[in-house]
Amino acid sequence: MNRSEHYDSDLLFYFDGKPLEFSLYQRLFAAMEQAFHDASVKVQKSQISFYCPKLFAAASIPVRRKKDWPRECLLVTFGLERQLLSPRIAVAVEPYPNRWTHHVVVSRPEEIDEELLDWLRQAYQFCQVKGSRR
């Protein structure tokens, strides 16, 4: 996976004081790096973004959280052409017609599983199709 020039130092800064969230991200990144060889990743102020070349997924530490969300967690975000219906989807919104943004709360390593990775693969494929329609 292609990384921005200061990826490692930016990553440490982003997760400063958040060891559980950092370990969850490391597990997510390892799985994504294996699945999406040609993708790119960039640490930004509010999230870590994954591109193919357009944005298809992100990981972040929630700034605003619902009452029932765990205190320590990672929010995994991805876009699809349809709404996924699953109890694992914490929030799903349709900012544009047929473009759904989904948020999954991850608080344990085992939640980075095949189901989540399948959704991320679908988002990656949707990004490829979406980008070719221009």
CA separation, residue 67 to residues 27, 41, 42, 113 (Å): 25, 30, 29, 24
Q: What is the pTM of this model?
A: 0.93
pLDDT score of 131 more than 70:
no
* Token pair of 51 as six digits: 């591109």
> What pLDDT digit, counting tens, does each position of 76-125 carry?
999 999 999 999 999 999 998 999 999 999 999 999 999 999 999 999 99
d(CA 14, CA 22): 9
How many domains would you assign to the chain?
1
Domain limits for position 125: 2-132
Strands (E) in 19-64, as ranges, are 40-43, 48-51, 55-60
Contact criterion met (CB below 8 Å) for 75 and 62: yes
Assign 134 a pLDDT band (cuts: 50, 70, 90).
very low
> What pLDDT digit, counting tens, does each position of 39-84 carry?
999 999 999 999 998 999 999 999 877 778 898 999 999 999 999 9
